[in-house]
Structure 1
Amino acid sequence: MKKPNLEGLSLDELWQLHEELNRLLSVRLTAEKRALETRLAQLRRENEAASAPAEPSPRPRRPYPRVHPKYRNPNLPHETWSGRGKQPKWLAAALRTGRSIEDFLIPNG
């Protein structure tokens, strides 16, 4: 493309060129934006159509039986432990003092 000689143009001619460029840019940007929005809408429809049947419904959680407590704090009888998971602080502190875990067993029956 041949570069126009802008130095030789008058102020009115430069301003007219400026307005023409702004109009042309506005038209092209609007057309480009419309094309991109159309493409985006198409991609969204394709994504929704592809993902809808592919998503299985989540399975319900398996019911686990209730675990009864095996150990009881003699100082606070409402504090119990089933023997699963992390030891409670009251039991860990008692074991550090030299007591045995069997001292805290809840008798069956």
Structure 2
Amino acid sequence: MRLASALRAEKAVVENRLKQLRRRAETQPAARAAKSSRAAKSPDRRPYPAVVPKYRNPDRPSETWAGRGKTPRWLTAQLKSGRRMDDFRIRHAA
């Protein structure tokens, strides 16, 4: 009996909270839409440093890859032909 009354009381609290949230959501749809469009225009992310390229295409030296993301087509083709990743590594002056 105590458990049933405790559950009813908890259910009433949760239902009241849901009603409040629904009322708030109904009264502020324009403000929410403005906030989401503003967030899309200027994300609040920290600035990341530029990533230095680690690999260079010997056939076209302007094509480089930093080793992040999807492997470029030129490197995939070279690797399939039997070459190794180290063959394309850029030697940086330390």
**TM-score, normalised to structure 1's length?**
0.49
Residue in structure 1 matched with residue 27 of structure 2 by the alignment:
47
Residue in structure 2 matched with residue 9 of structure 1 by the alignment:
none
Select the residue among 71, 74, 87 that pairs with 2:71.
87
Select the residue among 51, 56, 65 that pairs with 2:49.
65
Unpaired runs of at least 5, structure 1: 1-42
**Structure 1 outlier segments of 4+, above 2 Å:** 50-53, 55-59
For the pair shown, the structure with the greater C-alpha radius of gyration is: 1
Residue in structure 2 matched with residue 103 of structure 1 by the alignment:
87
**TM-score, normalised to structure 2's length?**
0.56
1: CA distance, partners of 2:92 / 2:45? 31
Higher-RCO chain (CA-CA 8 Å, sequence separation at least 6): 2
Unpaired runs of at least 5, structure 2: 1-22
- Structure 1 residue 64: Cα displacement: 1.0
Residue identity (%): 51
1: CA distance, partners of 2:71 / 2:31? 45
More helix by share: 2
Structure 2 matches for 1:2-81, cutoff 5 A? 47-48=27-28, 52=31, 58=39, 60-81=44-65
- Residue 47 of structure 1 aligns to which amino acid in structure 2? T
CA deviation profile, 1:25-53 (whole Å, cap 9, x unmatched): xxxxxxxxxxxxxxxxxx9xx613x8749
